[in-house]
Homo-oligomer: A and B are copies of this chain.
């Protein structure tokens, strides 16, 4: 079985667990919204960069940001360095959601460490980090 398919399976599992945990915590985010929110850094990001990072068009990113903005997860503030641009910033509610996500992610990581053994998991993580150089178009 191709490693990429195995990665897909594991990654999908995590996404679903995270999404479920968010819902349980009262955050009714769609998958696409959650993926976007996950990529908004603490110090804000421009829509165009966000789109690039999430691998969607600017229009799609704008559409999704509109939604999570309306729901109170992010805010758009003027970019002080460029009058055309605005920065998408994580709001309080978004920060709380990110915290929920990180918590369940850590739990899953512990599960994986138990299942594989911590050193094997570390090997996998390291290898995947290396792999990123030839698989991540964003960097």
Chain A residues proximal to chain B, CB less than 8 Å: 1-15, 55, 105, 108-109, 111-112, 115-116, 120-121, 123-125, 127-137
Check if B4 sits within 8 Å of A105, measured CB to CB: yes
Given contacts A3-B125, A127-B120, A128-B124, contact A135 B9 (CB under 8 A): yes
In angstroms, how far is the closest chain B Cβ from the Cβ of A115?
Answer: 6
Q: Which residues of B contact A9 (CB under 8 A)?
A: 132, 135-136
Check if B130 sits within 8 Å of A3, measured CB to CB: no
This protein's copies in its complex: 2
In angstroms, how far is the closest chain B Cβ from the Cβ of A119?
Answer: 10
Q: Which residues of B contact A3 (CB under 8 A)?
A: 10, 109, 112, 121, 124-125, 128
| 6 smallest beta-carbon distances between A and B, as pairs | A7-B7, A6-B128, A4-B14, A13-B135, A8-B11, A7-B11
Given contacts A109-B3, A123-B120, contact A115 B133 (CB under 8 A): yes
Q: Which residues of B contact A109 (CB under 8 A)?
A: 2-3
In angstroms, how far is the closest chain B Cβ from the Cβ of A55?
Answer: 7
Given contacts A10-B132, A10-B135, A13-B137, contact A4 B127 (CB under 8 A): no
Check if A115 sits within 8 Å of B137, measured CB to CB: no
- Specify the chain B residue showing the minimal Cβ separation from A117: B127
Q: Give 17 new A-B contacts, CB below 8 A, not counting A3-B121, A7-B7, A116-B127.
A: A1-B129, A2-B14, A3-B109, A3-B128, A4-B14, A4-B108, A5-B11, A6-B125, A8-B15, A10-B128, A111-B134, A112-B131, A112-B134, A120-B123, A121-B127, A123-B127, A124-B128
